[in-house]
Amino acid sequence: MKSKREVIKFIVYTTLFIPITIFILEITFLFINKANTKLTNGTKYDSLTGWRENCDNKNTNPKNYKFLICDRNGFIKTPFEHDKKKKDTFGILLLGNSVAMGEGLYGFDNEKTFASQLETNLRNKNSKIDLINAAYSGFNTWQEHVETFRYLNAEPYKDDLPPLKIIVSFGGIQDFWNFIRLLSKHNENRNEYSFANGMMIDKNNIEYINFLASSSLGNIRSGFITFLNSIRKSSNFLSYLADLRSRNKVKPGIYEKKQLTIYSKSEIKNKNLREVLEKRLNLNYEEYKKIKNYAIQSTLRNISSTANLNLDIKYFYVYAPNYFSSLSEDQLNGDDYRYLIGIKHLIGDPVFPLKILEREMSIIEKDYRETLFFELKKNKNIIFIDFSQKAENTNWFLDYSHFSEFAASKLSSKLAEDLLKTK
């Protein structure tokens, strides 16, 4: 039997020494990582798209693979670099958000990113191909249009930018999150003109991305808050306290029926779209259809505008698979009651934290996706490819949208085949 002194010693070591050691290590490696940053240091403001990769820091360390690196034009680097002496290069511009960019899949010289794997697969079939990765984290189809416009204006004057044969928009999820943002806000919190209801550039996204990026630049406060948020999101107790705090901030009667409804009982399971809308978002179906049409038409304008910038260039719109489109029948109909986590920055700042089951979000995503597909097929200048069901299961995803290395390999290989076989 341990003595009282030994018990006290154990408690002291457990409650003080271990946490302090972890804290010191985290702070130490924060500065170590800051010193070893390779070429890029997070996100910076961009006057056209709102934000993009910060390629201003020229400090290099080839042994550090924790950051995506840029090419000389500020695009996320891919393995092959354009040979300006060759006049017959087959240029492909890849558009999209962090999914297409390849977030979470770094490796030496970005070799594991979705874009890099796609270029490798394409060049295995045609060595003249040069893929430009113009995708970036948080970009929606409006920002894709801006990037395409910028590229087409710059290419004639840049020897290291290949003339384009194909433009590929690979994603879909960012515009979907913009749609969810509209659903989760009540009318008085929308700003139809100044921020185009978040369908162009949303100020919340700029603020959020800059805040996260500052932690990689050595901002201890940002890093510490990000660390605490990651813990909070994993704790049911802390999530409950956050919900309770949010409720107490709202004065009854101000928001009427436009507030989000919170249900915490596990037995609640909404099986169809109308139930999800009414019981989770407090929206009737007619309100929902109006907002959906608004979001879809905005996205279609962006896509159609990009497709029509140069009719000599083939334009592909590829709806990538996501977690919700990849749920199995058991996940959709079984006893799984998992709520969505970590999406607050994607949907802005609703009155209450959005409480919705994964299976319920899949119902909304399916309805949005099918409506978008129906409208896309009407435009003959758009080559539409549906990848929504290409993931074999939800294990292909790191979160609700980003791919695992295995998924990126499989999907990039299939996409390479589809791009080159399409007439």
246 near 225, Cβ under 8 Å? no
Return the number of other C-beta atoms located less than 10 Å from residue 234's C-beta: 11
CATH classification at residue 370: 3.40.50.1110
Say which amino acid occupies 60. T
- Give pLDDT, residue 238: 55
106 near 67, Cβ under 8 Å? yes
C-alpha–C-alpha distance, residues 332 and 320, integer Å: 20
Interior CA angle at 271 toward 270 and 274, to 5°? 80
- Give pLDDT, residue 116: 93
pLDDT in tens, the chain (423 residues): 567 777 677 676 667 766 777 667 656 655 554 444 343 446 777 878 888 887 765 444 445 555 678 888 889 889 887 666 667 889 999 999 999 998 888 776 788 899 999 999 999 999 999 999 999 989 999 999 999 999 999 999 888 899 999 999 999 999 999 999 888 876 656 667 766 877 887 666 677 777 767 776 677 777 777 777 666 555 555 555 555 554 444 333 332 333 333 344 445 566 899 999 988 888 899 999 999 999 999 999 999 999 999 999 999 999 999 999 999 988 888 777 788 887 777 776 665 567 788 999 999 999 999 999 999 999 999 999 999 999 999 999 999 999 999 999 999 999 999 999 875
85 is in which domain, residue-wise?
36-421
**Alpha-carbon torsion (12, 16, 17, 19), positive or negative:** positive
C-alpha–C-alpha distance, residues 135 and 52, integer Å: 9
Is 17 part of a structural domain of the chain? no
Is 22 part of a structural domain of the chain? no
Non-local (6+) Cβ contacts of 288 within 8 A are 183, 273, 277, 281
The three-class DSSP label of residue 355 is coil
- Nearest residue to 319 (alpha-carbon basis) of 356, 371, 276: 371
C-alpha–C-alpha distance, residues 270 and 111, integer Å: 42
- Give pLDDT, residue 264: 43
78 near 69, Cβ under 8 Å? no
285 near 274, Cβ under 8 Å? yes
C-alpha–C-alpha distance, residues 350 and 242, integer Å: 13
Is 280 part of a structural domain of the chain? yes
Total structural domains within the chain: 1
- Give pLDDT, residue 250: 36
Q: DSSP letters along 42-57, please?
A: SEEEETTTEEEE----
C-alpha–C-alpha distance, residues 247 and 290, integer Å: 28
- Give pLDDT, residue 256: 34
- Give pLDDT, residue 37: 39
Is 14 part of a structural domain of the chain? no
Instruction: Quote the distance between the C-alpha of residue 88 and its chain's center.
Output: 34
Q: Tokens representing 366? A: 């399916």
198 near 181, Cβ under 8 Å? yes
Starting at the edge strand found earlier in the chain, the sheet holding 90-96 runs 129-133, 90-96, 164-171, 314-319, 383-386
57 near 41, Cβ under 8 Å? yes
- Give pLDDT, residue 40: 41
The burial class, CB within 10 Å (0-12 / 13-18 / 19+), for 157 is: exposed
| Ramachandran quadrant class, 109 (left: phi over 0; alpha: psi -120 to 50; beta: rest) | left
Is 2 part of a structural domain of the chain? no
Is 150 part of a structural domain of the chain? yes
Is 4 part of a structural domain of the chain? no
**Whole-model pTM?**
0.78
Alpha helices, DSSP H, located in 155-261: 173-183, 203-216, 220-234, 236-249
To the nearest 10 degrees (0 to 180), the angle between helices 220-234 and 203-216 is: 110
Is 171 part of a structural domain of the chain? yes
- Give pLDDT, residue 26: 59
Residue with tokens 């801006």: 146
